[in-house]
C-alpha cells in the first residue's frame, strides 16, 4: 500500500505515535473509495445499545443481522466500520481483513438516567478482533465527565502502546447544559478541543448550530468576529479548535433526515474542511439499495463530484 501525499501529511501530525499506530491510521485513511484523499466516511453501529433493537432496526429488519452492517460498509467502499463488542465478534472472522474496524469500548442505554457510559470492551478485545482503532465516548458537562476522561486516558494509553489508533466521541450533555447547548457552536468546539487535548487521533462531534450557550464565549466570539453564520463557517471554526485543523475530525449524521437534508449537510461539512462523516442511522434504517445509493452520493460529494 503506497501512501498518498495527503495521508503522509496527516500522519506527520502525530509525531510521537509509534509505527503501529500510524500504520493503523493509514489503514483507515487509505481504505475504500476515499482512500488517500484525507476524507473519511465511517459506518457506526452502536445504536442497538443506545436506543434498543426495535428503534434501531425494525424499519429495516435485515439490519438485525450483524453481518448486514459489515457487508454494507464493505460494499459501499467505506473507510471503516465502528461497532460494539458483540457486533464485531459476529463478523470479525467472516470479514477479516476486508475493512478496518473500530471497537467502541463504552456504551450507554436508553433505560439509564445517568449521563454516563459503561466500559463494555477492552484493548485486548480490539487486538483479538484485528481492529485498527478503539473508540470511546465522553460527555463533557455531565456530572460524570471527569471519570469518563480518566477512563479514556487510561484506555488510550494502553491502546497506543499496542499500536492502535484512538477515536473519541465527544458529546456534551448533562450538568447545567441546556438542550440547545448540546450542539451550540461554543460547546461543540470546546468538546472537540477537549478530545484533542485527551490525545484522540480521530474526533467525532455533532454538527454545530449557531446557538452560543456560554455568555463568556459569546463575548469572545463577538470580539474576535468569528463567523458562525453557516454550517460551513462553523465547521471551519471547529477545525481551528482541533489544533488548527491538525487532527482528524468527522461529524455525525445525527437524527434521520431526508436525502436533500443529508446531502446539503455533507456539502457544508466538506466545504468547512472537516475530514468526513460517521453516519449510521441515516444509512441502515433505509433498505440496502437506498443506503448504498445514498453512500455513493456522499462519497461523490467528498470527492467534489456532487
| Domain at 128, CATH number | 3.20.20.70
161 - beta bridge partners? Answer: none
Whether 71 is covered by a domain: the verdict is: yes
Does 133 reside within a domain? yes
Q: Are 95 and 70 in contact (CB under 8 A)?
A: yes
For the segment 61-90, what is each residue's pLDDT rounded down to a tens digit? 999 999 999 999 999 999 999 999 999 999
In a domain, 45, yes or no: yes
In this structure, is residue 210 part of a structural domain?
yes
pLDDT for 256 beyond 70 = no
User: In the chain, what percentage of residues exceed pLDDT 70?
Assistant: 99
Active site residues: 204
Share of the chain above pLDDT 90, in %: 92
Report if residue 306 sits inside a domain. no
20 is a domain residue: yes
Residue 11: domain span? 7-301
Question: Are the CB atoms for 180 and 213 separated by under 8 Å?
Answer: yes
| Structural domain contains residue 220 | yes
Q: Answer whether residue 1 is part of any domain.
A: no
Domains contained in the chain, number: 1
Q: Which residues of 5-16 are buried (b: 16+ CB within 10 A; e: fewer)?
A: eebeebbeebee
Place of cell 438542550: 179
Cell, residue 6: 495527503
d(CA 267, CA 275): 12
Amino acid at each position: 500500500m503506497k501512501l498518498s501525499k495527503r495521508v503522509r501529511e496527516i500522519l506527520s501530525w502525530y509525531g510521537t505515535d509509534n509505527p503501529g499506530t500510524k500504520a493503523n491510521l493509514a489503514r483507515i485513511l487509505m481504505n475504500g473509495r476515499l482512500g488517500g484523499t484525507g476524507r473519511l466516511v465511517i459506518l457506526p453501529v452502536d445504536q442497538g445499545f443506545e436506543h434498543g433493537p426495535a428503534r434501531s432496526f425494525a424499519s429495516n429488519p435485515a439490519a438485525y443481522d450483524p453481518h448486514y452492517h459489515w457487508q454494507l460498509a464493505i460494499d459501499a467502499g467505506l473507510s471503516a466500520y465502528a461497532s460494539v463488542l458483540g457486533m464485531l465478534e459476529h463478523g470479525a472472522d467472516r470479514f477479516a481483513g476486508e475493512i478496518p474496524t473500530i471497537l467502541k469500548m463504552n456504551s450507554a442505554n436508553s433505560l439509564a438516567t445517568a449521563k454516563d457510559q459503561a466500559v463494555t470492551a477492552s484493548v485486548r478485545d480490539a487486538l483479538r478482533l484485528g481492529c485498527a482503532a478503539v473508540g470511546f465516548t465522553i460527555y463533557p458537562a455531565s456530572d460524570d465527565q471527569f471519570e469518563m476522561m480518566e477512563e479514556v486516558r487510561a484506555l488510550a494509553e494502553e491502546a497506543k502502546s499496542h499500536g492502535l489508533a484512538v477515536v473519541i466521541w465527544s458529546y456534551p450533555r448533562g450538568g447545567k447544559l441546556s438542550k440547545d447547548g448540546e450542539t451550540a457552536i461554543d460547546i461543540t468546539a470546546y468538546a472537540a478541543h477537549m478530545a484533542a487535548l485527551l490525545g484522540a487521533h480521530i474526533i467525532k462531534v455533532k454538527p454545530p448550530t449557531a446557538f452560543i450557550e456560554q455568555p463568556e464565549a459569546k463575548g469572545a466570539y463577538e470580539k474576535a468576529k468569528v463567523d458562525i453564520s453557516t454550517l460551513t463557517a462553523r465547521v471551519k471554526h471547529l477545525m481551528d479548535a482541533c489544533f488548527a485543523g491538525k487532527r482528524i475530525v468527522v461529524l455525525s449524521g445525527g437524527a434521520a433526515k431526508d436525502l436533500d437534508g443529508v446531502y446539503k449537510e455533507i456539502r457544508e461539512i466538506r466545504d468547512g474542511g472537516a475530514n468526513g462523516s460517521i453516519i449510521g442511522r441515516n444509512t441502515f434504517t433505509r433498505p440496502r439499495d437506498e443506503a448504498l445509493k445514498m453512500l455513493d452520493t456522499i462519497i461523490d460529494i467528498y470527492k467534489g463530484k456532487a
